Structure 1
Amino acid sequence: MLRVLPFAYMVAIFIMSSLPADHFVKLPDSKLDHTIKESLHLIEFAILYVLLVLAMLTRRGDFTPRWNLACALFAALYGISDEIHQSFYAYRSASWFDLVKDFTGISVCFYFIRGAMFQGKFRGLRKVLERV
């Protein structure tokens, strides 16, 4: 199941990027609605990165620093492709700032996972990840 989740999540991202931003949820306060949806960029591709890591962790002994970096780069490249995809829809927007937010979320998760798995930091996180 963990190996399928990243691909299902990528499909969900693709579908949601094809729809207007308020297709699923629109809060009554438009400023709050915009702020919340913009802040989701910080976690959207971080979640993809974490799902990719979890999928790799199901392959015992195969998760190395290189695979960790590959997961982060793949999530970042998918973020770039998502911004390009959104640029083709009049009711969506693509921006460099959105990419910065995407990369920031990925980088924060990368920091913690790298620290836990390869640098002896964040022992609690490492225990959780090792149970996968």
Structure 2
Amino acid sequence: MKFVRYFFLILPFGYMGLIWYLSSHPQDHVIDTGLSYDSTIKEALHLVEFATLYVLWLLFFYGLGKLTPATNKLSAFLAIAYGFLDEIHQSFVPSRSATLIDLIKDTIGVLVCYIILKQIYKSQIEIKGSNNIEK
């Protein structure tokens, strides 16, 4: 079980390293699907990429035993802040650019995931509460 806990602690850092690596190369350097809508897929992946980072930060705090509403918000902040840092990083990479729309997509991905998980958590609390009333 300790292995899983330590694995959760390194996940966000490894994933941020992967994001940094992918951002350090031209868009089609690492992944080129050859499809006509390749750029559309990659643009949409911003939403998923940073929502995933948010979830990995949640797992980090869970692994520390410190998953709270405050660390949930901190996880969202860290994922969005890294999106901002990644955009700055890309401005220094030839053939890449930093764009506000990419940062907005990163942020939307995190916030949508945040809202979904918050609603799931609320519904679980309501279900548990209604079970206690029936007893």
The corresponding residue for 1:93 is 97
- Normalising to structure 1: TM-score of the pair? 0.84
- Amino acid of the structure 1 residue aligned with 2:15: Y
Return 5+ residue gaps in structure 1 as ranges: 124-132
| Post-superposition offset of 1:69 | 0.3
- Amino acid of the structure 2 residue aligned with 1:108: V
SS in 2 for 1:40: helix
Match of 1:6 among 4, 12, 16: 12
1 CA distance for matches of 2:125 and 2:12?
24
Q: Which has the larger radius of gyration?
A: 2
1 CA distance for matches of 2:58 and 2:32?
32
1 CA distance for matches of 2:125 and 2:50?
22
The corresponding residue for 1:115 is 119
Return 5+ residue gaps in structure 2 as ranges: 1-6, 127-135
C-alpha distance 66-89 of structure 1, shift in aligned 2 (>3 A): same
Moved over 3 A (4+): 120-123
Q: Deviations over 1:102-122 (max 9, x none)?
A: 0010001111222233x2359
C-alpha distance 28-122 of structure 1, shift in aligned 2 (>3 A): farther
The size of the alignment, in residue pairs, is: 120
Alignment map for 1:33-112 (pairs within 5 Å): 33-60=38-65, 62-112=66-116
Q: Which of the pair is proportionally richer in helix?
A: 2
